[in-house]
């Protein structure tokens, strides 16, 4: 079968289970695609072909024995380089962690393996996963396959670039302030940030995370179809006793009216015209699919939530984070911390108490809003994907980036799920929308996402753009 790497994961798994395609054939096709395009984009920074083929052989052997190989039978998946995968360095984009070799898998890697997925390679991320751009001093720069002059997003920039270029059918990413949703937006694919507690997390190779990361950072999938997000979410959500925050919530909640709120300009974001047009277009697609759509001009606080999220993320142990960034010497990480110092430092126990106390109110406000409107559609970012390295250009550019990412930063503070749905291109530059639902209602995000996806052109793998017209 030609170009197996182009197939949706759901279709490929079905072909492998029915023995029309072998897992070995799928793995071989994925490795060939990686070899063909990764040199141009540097999305995958570590892969071991022998291990990939060995995993595929295990899937084929299970099928030959008549066993159920799992819902992701033989599907090649990439893993972000900031979580534990046994035998690999959990670099988190850092020279100082090049020898931090994990002895065990994180829960999400174990869950994907149990579902039959084949681990294709490790994807790049910025140092400390601080930025919406993907460069570091150990693995180098990741390029956007659609246009190398724009960011591939971050911090799961390698994941977004890989899946957009057809390296793997699903990419694992993590998100604390847009790190799944923005790479999906920038690369023209879909990305789901699940509810906090939906997907178990633990990295034995690293110290326990601070409370801000515990209540806001999540793993989740990036893919070229909403259907592939759905099956990968189910696979990733398996129980694991190592995560005390994991919640045994059903993947399908009670039926809700197909009613969506649409907010073009949330909390003073002031999006550019192309972003406004994408949100308006998504609203029309929902209406054509039978949804009731109501435009709203005000939401529960987003800007305040984003400010609290930034303080929890960067302010807690700020001095320790800054010292580590100075040891690493990464310009982007230093720009992130130094540029936010006045917003997040000093940070003490009273600050922490006030933030967490206020969080209860904001979670309640958003829960009530999302009870009235089961789905909210708004911008992912106030601007189209930025020129690469734009945040390090000057202070004005840094501030512009952080302002534009308001929706991405805010939603994790409430632990809510958020979905980026790519909707089209402005020239070669992707654009999309942000779909939000109540806690543990990823099913509603995906339901709306499918309607929006169906109203446009499907996302398909691209060959890296190398210049010209």
Please name the residues in contact with 249: beta carbons below 8 A apart, sequence gap of 6 or more. Answer: 195, 197, 198, 440
End-to-end CA distance of the chain, in Å? Answer: 31
The H or E element spanning position 352 is helix 349-372
Of the listed 22, 111, 155, 237, which one is catalytic? 155
Please name the residues in contact with 395: beta carbons below 8 A apart, sequence gap of 6 or more. Answer: 339
Of the listed 80, 106, 143, 237, which one is catalytic? 80
The burial of 371, by beta-carbon neighbours within 10 Å (0-12 exposed, 13-18 middle, 19 or more buried), is given as exposed
> Six-digit token pair at 451?
């309607």
Number of C-beta neighbours around residue 45 at 10 A: 21
Question: Rounded to whole angstroms, how far apart are CA atoms 158 and 37?
Answer: 13
Q: Reduce the secondary structure of 361-424 to three states and give it as a string.
A: HHHHHHHHHHHHCCEEEEECCCCCCCECCHHHCCHHHHHHHHHHCHHHHHHHHHCCCEEEEEEE
Of the listed 22, 111, 156, 179, which one is catalytic? 179
226-236 helix and 442-454 helix, angle to the nearest 10 degrees: 160
- The conformational region for residue 317 under phi > 0 = left, psi -120 to 50 = alpha, else beta, is left
Between the alpha carbon of residue 186 and those of residues 173, 176, 300, the distances in Å are 14, 17, 27
Please name the residues in contact with 162: beta carbons below 8 A apart, sequence gap of 6 or more. Answer: 38, 41, 43, 44, 78, 121, 123, 168, 171
Asked if 101 and 83 touch (Cβ cutoff 8 Å), the reply is no
Question: Rounded to whole angstroms, how far apart are CA atoms 154 and 137?
Answer: 15
Chain position carrying tokens 């515990």: 214
Backbone angles phi, psi at 106, to 5 degrees: -70, 160
Asked if 452 and 285 touch (Cβ cutoff 8 Å), the reply is yes
* Known catalytic residue at 179: yes
In the chain, what's the furthest Cα-to-Cα distance? 62
Separate counts of helices (H) and strands (E) for the chain: 16, 11
Angle (nearest 5°) at CA 47 between 41 and 53: 125
Could you give the residue numbers annotated as active site? 80, 155, 179
């Amino acid at each position: 079968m030609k170009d197996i790497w182009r197939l949706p994961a759901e279709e490929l798994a079905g072909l492998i289970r029915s023995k029309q395609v072998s897992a070995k054939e799928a793995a071989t096709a994925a490795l060939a695609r990686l070899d063909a395009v990764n040199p141009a984009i540097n999305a995958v920074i570590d892969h071991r072909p022998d291990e990939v083929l060995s995993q595929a052989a295990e899937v084929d052997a299970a099928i030959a024995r008549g066993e159920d190989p799992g819902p992701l039978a033989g599907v090649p998946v990439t893993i972000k380089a900031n979580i534990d995968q046994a035998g690999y360095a959990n670099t988190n984009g850092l020279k100082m962690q090049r020898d931090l070799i994990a002895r065990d898998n994180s829960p999400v890697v174990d869950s994907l393996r149990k579902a039959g997925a084949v681990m294709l390679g490790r994807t790049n991320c910025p140092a400390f996963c601080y930025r919406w751009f993907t460069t570091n001093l150990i693995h180098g720069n990741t390029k956007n396959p659609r246009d190398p002059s724009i960011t591939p997003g971050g911090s799961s920039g390698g994941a977004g670039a890989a899946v957009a270029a057809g390296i793997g059918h699903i990419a694992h990413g993590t998100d604390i302030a847009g790190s799944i949703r923005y790479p999906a937006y920038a690369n023209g694919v879909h990305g789901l940030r699940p509810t906090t507690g939906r997907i178990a997390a633990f990295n034995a190779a690293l110290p326990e995370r601070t409370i801000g990361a515990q209540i806001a950072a999540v793993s989740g999938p990036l893919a070229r179809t909403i259907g592939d997000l759905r099956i990968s979410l189910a696979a990733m959500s398996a129980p694991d006793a190592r995560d005390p925050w994991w919640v045994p919530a059903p993947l399908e909640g009670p039926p809700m009216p197909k009613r969506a709120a649409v907010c073009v300009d949330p909390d003073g974001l002031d999006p550019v015209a192309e972003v406004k047009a994408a949100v308006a277009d998504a609203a029309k697609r929902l209406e054509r699919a039978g949804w009731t759509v109501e435009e709203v001009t005000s939401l529960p606080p987003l800007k305040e939530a984003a400010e609290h999220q930034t303080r929890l993320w960067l302010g807690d142990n700020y001095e320790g984070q800054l010292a580590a960034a100075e040891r690493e010497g990464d310009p982007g990480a230093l720009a992130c911390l130094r540029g936010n110092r006045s917003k997040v430092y000093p940070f003490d126990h009273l600050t922490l108490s006030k933030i967490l106390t206020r969080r209860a109110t904001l979670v309640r406000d958003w829960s009530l809003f999302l009870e009235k409107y089961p789905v909210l559609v708004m911008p992912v970012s106030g601007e189209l994907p930025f020129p690469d390295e734009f945040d390090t250009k000057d202070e004005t550019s840094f501030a512009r980036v952080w302002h534009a990412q308001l929706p991405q930063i805010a939603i994790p503070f409430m632990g809510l799920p958020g979905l980026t749905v790519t909707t089209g291109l402005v020239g070669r530059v992707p654009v999309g929308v942000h779909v939000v639902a109540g806690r543990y209602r990823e099913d509603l995000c995906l339901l709306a996402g499918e309607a929006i996806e169906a109203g446009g052109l499907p996302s398909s793998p691209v060959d890296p753009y190398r210049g010209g017209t």
